Structure 1
């Protein structure tokens, strides 16, 4: 039997990880401000944020938050979110064995004529982006997909005349029949 302190020294990771949190809350005024206040008041960053009502009858909304932090900070975020009064459930979708389904929507405006215009249309087709507005001088593409796919498309469009981009936050659901 080893003698010494009853306390053990736990190695704490300082490597930041990106996690997707699904937070079910009451759909009432001020709830989003309270959740965001928890992050900003403690200096935590939010990489992506989406909010939508998921059950009109029960007045429940889902807040999907993508954040990057060290494991101890992520645990603290989950704990503090769970203690807020209007919060029903906090699920870290990144901790399940099977990766969650994550998608984002982007509107991408590209201006160009001639060969650049043809190339932008060809690439949009390859990325399954849809033309939702077009004039003789520009296109607006609508694209849904994983964050990295959208970022890759935006990068490719830059030399072809990228004008502006508007993106939603990430929406995510756990795979399988379980509800979170």
Structure 2
């Protein structure tokens, strides 16, 4: 028997993947802190986090968390979240197929002359709205995929990008079924 390791049952490295989790919770004080604490206490990273009340009469909020890890780590995160008292449901939108994901960014660009013209041209090409314009600056609003937002920011850096504010990812599964 010819093996490349001295240990025949050596563990195989699992790939790290990005997952988008939708968490339905009671909208009450401390819930977000408990969820963030769960991640930080176990050394898991939150790449994006959005929270909003979605059912006002029932005081229910939806938390969308984007994180990365092996399949085992993601399963652990979901199990830990499921055990928290204010959590009603945890859905891994990544496993349900391609989820619709969007992010909003406000981008401030400062410049004159050719830089102004180029900033306006790029904003138009990306479908960004101009929210504020002065003689020396613009504030653009862009909604799109994280990759599209990243490309826009990278291009705007060359023409005078000075400030960026991003919402984080809002996501929903495709098709007629609710979460």
Tell me if both proteins adopt one fold, taking TM over 0.5 as the criterion. Answer: yes
Structure 1 gap segments, 5+ residues each: 1-8
Number of aligned residues: 171
Matched, 1:133 2:132: yes
Indicate the SS of the match to 1:172: strand
Alignment of 1:74-93 (within 5 A): 74-93=74-93
Which residue in the other structure is 1:4 paired with? none
Which residue in the other structure is 2:44 paired with? 44
TM-score of the superposed pair, with normalisation by structure 1: 0.92
Which residue in the other structure is 2:145 paired with? 146
Matched, 1:15 2:23: no
In structure 2, C-alpha distance between the alignment counterparts of 1:19 and 1:47, rounded to whole Å: 10
Question: CA shift at 1:115, angstroms?
Answer: 1.0
- Contact 1:47/1:67 (CA < 8 Å) preserved in 2? yes
Indicate the SS of the match to 2:15: coil
Indicate the SS of the match to 1:157: helix
Question: CA shift at 1:179, angstroms?
Answer: 1.1
TM-score of the superposed pair, with normalisation by structure 2: 0.92
In structure 1, C-alpha distance between the alignment counterparts of 2:140 and 2:10, rounded to whole Å: 50
Which residue in the other structure is 2:53 paired with? 53
